Amino acid sequence: MKARIVRIGNSHGIRIPKPLLEKSGLRGKVEMEVRSHQIIIQAVKPSRAGWDAAFQGMAEEGDDALLDPEIVGSPEWDGEEWEW
């Protein structure tokens, strides 16, 4: 399918036909990048996508232990004021 690049204010754009959008499943926000002289448009991945599965995998492998349990569990850790 061919399309024409059109001027939109100070930018340029391409009108994407509805059937093409429906087939791609794109809607809302998208990410765009250039790879090998091609513009790649893909759906924005939600923040922390896949974390649940990664945490589940860590638990199954026994790789979910605290790195420094004596500090995290100490009363001083919870009682100190934090500066950001």
Q: Is the pLDDT of residue 65 over 90?
A: no
Look at residue 38 and tell me if it is in a domain.
yes
- What is the total count of domains within the chain? 1
- The residues pairing with 17 across neighbouring beta strands, listed in sequence order, are none
User: How much is the pTM?
Assistant: 0.52
Residue 64 — pLDDT band, cuts 50, 70, 90? confident
Domain that holds residue 28: 5-43
Look at residue 20 and tell me if it is in a domain.
yes
Residue 83 — pLDDT band, cuts 50, 70, 90? confident
Q: What is the CATH number of the domain that holds 10?
A: 2.10.260
Look at residue 71 and tell me if it is in a domain.
no
pLDDT, position 26:
92
Q: Where are the beta strands (DSSP E) in 1-84?
A: 5-8, 11-14, 30-35, 38-43
Look at residue 35 and tell me if it is in a domain.
yes
14-61 confidence digits (pLDDT tens) = 999 999 999 999 988 999 999 999 999 999 888 888 899 999 999 999
Q: Is the pLDDT of residue 75 over 70?
A: no
Is 43 within 8 Å of 25 (Cβ atoms)? yes
